[in-house]
Amino acid sequence: MVACFLTRGDLWISWEEGAKVFENYLLDYDWSLNAGNWMWLSASAFFYKYFRVYSPVAFGKKTDKDGLYIRKYVPELKKYPSDYIYEPWKAPKSIQTKAGCIVGIGYPKRIVDHDKIHKENIQKMSLAYKNNREKKAMKRPRS
């Protein structure tokens, strides 16, 4: 989820940046597993189904519909109703006020619109794969 969001899914940041963060914070860090998984999930190597992008909102709703993880580790959103726990920016101002957290003041505004940006990034990945195929086709066979 994190690797997809940081790289090809939303932010279009190199997998190497995410790998560096994990290197510093993973308790069970292993260089080869870390690098391999980041390359795989960023579709930089081993994984060609770049069009499978995980939605941070849909993934959360599917795996933790009540937002227990969010409530525990993001105290600003603790009092948000489950309907808005993964999309606090959609909550009406009255609900934000009641929850004690106004988006843009007590909690940051979202940094990307996933529904829009992941489509743009899929197009970038598609073009990169197409260019790579064409480049390979132009190479002369070795003798």
Binding residues for FAD, as ranges, are: 28-30
**Ranges of each domain in the chain:** 1-54, 64-99
pLDDT of residue 82: 97
CA 48/CA 32 separation, integer angstroms: 20
User: Distance (Å, rounded) from C-alpha 131 to C-alpha 136?
Assistant: 9
What is the pTM (predicted TM-score) of this model? 0.79
Residue 54 has pLDDT above 90, yes or no: no
- pLDDT mean over 15-21: 97
Phi-psi region of 112 (alpha: psi -120 to 50; beta: other; left: phi over 0): beta
For the cut 80, the answer to whether the pLDDT of residue 22 exceeds it is yes
- For the annotated binding site, the residues are 28-30
What digits encode the pLDDT tens for the residues 75-94? 999 999 999 999 999 999 99
Helical axes 15-25 vs 31-41, angle rounded to 10°:
140
What confidence score (pLDDT) does residue 140 get?
A: 67
Q: Provide the β-strand partners of residue 16.
A: none
Which pLDDT score, from 0 to 100, does residue 138 have? 72
The predicted pLDDT at position 136 comes to 73
